[in-house]
Copies of this chain bind each other. A is one copy, B any other.
């Protein structure tokens, strides 16, 4: 897990999407939308697990497993799954991506905030400090929301 969130940002900028990472671009548009929907739902599972531990009996190992998984997704350069035009189309279901995702000047900062919060979540999880996990879980949730509010359509 040596990736920095700068790399996530790099993965999310359109310049990178359309040039240097061409070897990384795999799958048809519908595959890419399904894969990104899948990755977000895998994070949703992991967030639910951390929440269950924060609200109920705290199990350090479960929190570490979930936090490591969120971190691995955050550092996987999902930007490659946001091909131009993929604000229209269906994976498991219609994409909820707003068109303003493409070309947004806020995207880099939002991605950086999320990547940083995910890396910090994994670090804090490793300490087993339940209060610190709860605090960082709140920050990570805010980072998720920062993107949802700006780039995700209401259902």
A interface list, Cβ under 8 A from B: 1-3, 7, 21, 23-24, 26-27, 31, 34-35, 37-42, 44-46, 48-49, 51-53, 56-57, 59, 61-62, 64-66, 68-69, 71-73, 75-77, 81, 92-93
Contact = CB atoms under 8 A, between A and B. Distances in A.
A95 B27 CA distance: 23
Given A26-B45, A92-B93, 14 more contacts: A2-B64, A3-B68, A23-B62, A24-B49, A24-B62, A26-B48, A26-B51, A35-B41, A35-B44, A65-B76, A65-B77, A66-B76, A68-B72, A92-B92
Contacts of A93: 92
A37 to B, nearest CB: 7
